[in-house]
Amino acid sequence: MGSEHLERYRDIIPDFDAFLDFMSRPLPVTIRINTLKTSVPELLSRLDRLGIGYERMRWYPLGLRLDAEKPGRLMEFHMGLIHVQEELSMLPPVVLDPQPGERILDLCAAPGGKAAQISMQMSNKGLVVANDSSSARIVPLRANLERLGAVNVVVTSYDGRRFPQYNFDRALVDAPCSSEGTARRYPEVIARCSAKRSADLQNLQVSLLRRAIQLTKPGGVVVYSTCTFAPEENEGVVSRVLDLADLESFTIQGLRSSQGIASWNSIDYGEELVKCRRYYPHENDTGGFFVAKLRRRLSAGE
């Protein structure tokens, strides 16, 4: 599974051999219960009647691991009662913590799982702007939002780096990345990964994150996430926006994680970066993820 490329992370990933072992294992099948259309007891009762085994996630009450290979074929999926979503993909909206009535931006929203989750957390009250620069990806984005009953979501298709000025309460940047953390589901992604590709992606990611911060009101929260292990795309990006926003520590009960990287390959990102959280496959039997929580300064240079 391209472990030669992953070797570049041996010095920063704890228990690296266990990490490699989990990277070669199949990814658990996970779903999110959509409380816009059902309740947890009702959905669990449906699964019981279907004879489908499940395990509740320790850290997220609406997440399940299923003993079913194709949950997207279930009637419950087509009815919008559930959404097939990798476990850690449910994490950024939880960290963002949107409140009913707020104005929220999801800058890189397709295919829509996180935008729909944000809408659900807001009980469909307030405004969610789900943006994606790819016109082709807008189609599945709209379809997922409609299926899941996320009626307070407006879909736009701007280049996120040039999104028109607005005043959001919170913003999510789930950035385009090298996607190394999805390799348990898509092993072929590792062959496309390289240090050069990660370095090339950094400027785009920085531009997206800076724009999201500028679009958020002073004191507002911005969450930056990727599904990659590369420091160039994670701490390297966050370190370049700290003139606009401050990093905040956060913890998720029941979900193991590692702290961010302060320095790597002779590059000093700064001690503040340990406030970021890294989620490795062997820590929770998941994919890989990186999450940073920022708060826009009350006055910051643009």
Of 292, 274, 275, 256, the C-alpha closest to 22 is 256
Here the CATH number for the domain that contains residue 60 is 3.30.70.1170
The answer to whether the pTM exceeds 0.95 is: yes
How far apart CA 300 and CA 242 sit, in angstroms, is: 10
Share in percent of the chain as helix, strand, coil (round to 5): 35, 20, 40
Indicate whether 80 and 92 sit together in one domain: no
How far apart CA 51 and CA 78 sit, in angstroms, is: 18
How far apart CA 161 and CA 157 sit, in angstroms, is: 12
Cβ–Cβ under 8 Å, residues 281 and 23: yes
Mean local confidence (pLDDT), 213-239 = 98
Is 177 among the annotated ligand-binding positions?
Answer: no
Note whether residue 175 is domain-resident.
yes
Q: Is 193 a catalytic residue?
A: no
Query: In terms of residue numbers, what domain contains 73?
Result: 28-85
- Partnered with residue 226 across adjacent β-strands are 290
* DSSP, res 149: T
Indicate whether 47 and 147 sit together in one domain: no
pLDDT, position 146: 98
Last residue of a domain, one of 41, 59, 85: 85
What's the structural domain count of the chain? 2
Cβ–Cβ under 8 Å, residues 76 and 46: yes
Strands (E), 43-159: 54-56, 63-66, 82-84, 103-106, 127-131, 153-156
pLDDT tens-digit series, residues 19-71 = 999 999 999 999 999 999 999 999 999 999 999 999 999 999 999 999 998 99
The one-letter code for the residue type at 69 is: E
Note whether residue 301 is domain-resident.
no
Whether the per-residue pLDDT at 276 is higher than 70: the answer is yes
Per annotation, catalytic residue among 177, 193, 227, 276: 227
Is 276 among the annotated ligand-binding positions?
Answer: no
3-state secondary structure of 110: coil
pLDDT tens-digit series, residues 86-138 = 999 999 999 999 999 999 999 999 999 999 999 999 999 999 999 999 999 99
Here the CATH number for the domain that contains residue 96 is 3.40.50.150
Indicate whether 158 and 176 sit together in one domain: yes
Is 174 among the annotated ligand-binding positions?
Answer: yes
The one-letter code for the residue type at 34 is: N
